Amino acid sequence: MHHGIKKLLLLGAGHAHVHVLAQLAEHHPGDLDVTVLTPFAHQTYSGMTPGFVAGRYSEDDCRIALEPLVRAAGARWLQGRCSGIDAAGQTVQVSPVQGAPDMPATLGYDLLSIDTGAVLDRTRLEADMPGAATHALAIRPIEAFTTLWPQVMALAQRQPVSLAVVGAGAGGIELVFAAEQAIRLHGMPGARFTLVTGGPEVAANYTPGVQRRVLRQLKRRGITVLREACTGITEGEVHLGNGARLACDVPLLAIGTHAPAWLQGSGLALSDEGHVLVNACQQSTSHANVFAAGDVASRADLPHPKSGVYAVRAGPPLAHNLLAAHGAQPLQPHTPPKHTLNLLSCGTGHAIASYGPLHAEGGWAWKWKDRIDRGFVMRYQRT
C-alpha cells in the first residue's frame, strides 16, 4: 500500500474499534485524518446486558462513552449509520440518525475499517417467523432492547407474566436466567419462564458436559425448555413447530443474527452468509484498503465462531495493521485462539465456565466474568 493514505474511516465502534481508538490515543500519526461513523454516543457491551436485565448493573456500568474516547484518539465522531459501501469508488453511504446533526450523504476514504457487528434483518426475520418483528422484543439492537426492558419489568410488577426466550445459544440462555432472577425478585409471584430452543439441544455449540450443567440450572430455576421451532408470533402467543401455541406475554428473541444487507452490492468479497471476507491480517480479500473485524467479518483462512471474545482479540492486530497500512509498513497476521474461555452467567451470581473440553461452575466463575467484563469497559472509559 502506498503512503498517500490520509483519510481513515472507522464504521461502528464495536469491540475491535474501541481498541483501535485507544491505540490512536497513544500514537496518532500527524497526517492521518480519522473519522468514526457510528449511531450511538455509547458502545453497549453485550456481555454485561444479561447482568443489566438481572438488575446487577446499571446501563452506565455496561457501556463505554464514545465521545471522550474518540476525542482522546484525535478523531472525529459522525453520528450516523453506514447504509452502503462503494469499494471501487472508495465511498460510504450514510443514513442519518433521528435527532443527530445533518450529515453528508456520502463519505470518502483512503482506508476503511468495518466493525459494525451483526444485525437481526427484520425482513428475513419476518419471513422465518411471521409476526416476530411486530410482537417480540429482540435482543438486537441492544440499545433498543435496554431502553425497552424497564417496560417488561413494569408489566411483571403489575401481573404474573409468562416470558419466553426464543433462541438457546449463549445469549438466550443468559437472558432467560437473568429475566427469571429479576422477575422472581421484583415481579408479581406466579411468573412463568420458557426457553424455546428452535429444535436443537440447549447450548448446542457447547460440549455435552456444559449442556448438562445448563439443563440442571434451568431445572433448578423452574425454567421450561421446549425443543421446538418458533414458527410465528401473534399477540399473546408463540407458535411452535409441532402446531402447539404457547401463551406468552413477553416473547424475547435471542436468535442467530445476519450479516448487514448493505454489504450486498458493495463490491467487497463476501462469505456465503454475506460477511466481509478477510485474510489473516483482517484485510478484505478483494480490496487491500478495507479491513474488517468482529461479527461483520469472516476469516477466509481460519473461520471461527462469531463472539465478543474473538472481536476483542482482533482489536490489537487490527489497530497495528491499520497504522501499518497508513505507514506502508508490513502487515502482521493474527491467529485467533483455538479455544476461548466461555463464562455463561446463570443469574444469582453463578456461572458455568468452559474452555475446550474443560468445564466447571460456581460463584467464583461469576466473579471471574464480572471482573473481566467490568475490566473491559473500564479499559476504554476516558473522561
Residues that bind ligand FAD (CB under 6 A): 11-16, 37-40, 43, 46-47, 49-50, 81-82, 115-117, 139, 170-171, 174-175, 294-296, 306-309, 311
C-alpha cell, 338: 483455538
Q: How far is CA 289 from the centre of its chain?
A: 25
CB of 341 to ligand FAD, least distance (A): 9
- C-beta of 94 vs 281, nearer to ligand FAD: 94
C-alpha cell, 214: 445448563
- C-beta of 1 vs 153, nearer to ligand FAD: 153
Give the number of other Cβ atoms within 10 Å of residue 337's Cβ. Answer: 11
CB of 271 to ligand FAD, least distance (A): 14
- C-beta of 116 vs 211, nearer to ligand FAD: 116
CB of 326 to ligand FAD, least distance (A): 21
DSSP per-residue string spanning 76-103 = EEEEEEEEEEETTTTEEEEEE-TTSPP-
CB of 38 to ligand FAD, least distance (A): 4
CA atoms within 13 A on the CB side of 90: 14
CB of 131 to ligand FAD, least distance (A): 21
- C-beta of 110 vs 295, nearer to ligand FAD: 295
CB of 41 to ligand FAD, least distance (A): 10
- C-beta of 131 vs 315, nearer to ligand FAD: 315
Contact 13, 38 (CB under 8 A): yes
- C-beta of 86 vs 237, nearer to ligand FAD: 86
Contact 276, 300 (CB under 8 A): no
**Sign of CA pseudo-dihedral 141, 185, 188, 158:** negative
Three-state SS at 215:
helix
User: Residue with C-alpha cell 453497549?
Assistant: 44
Three-state SS at 299:
strand
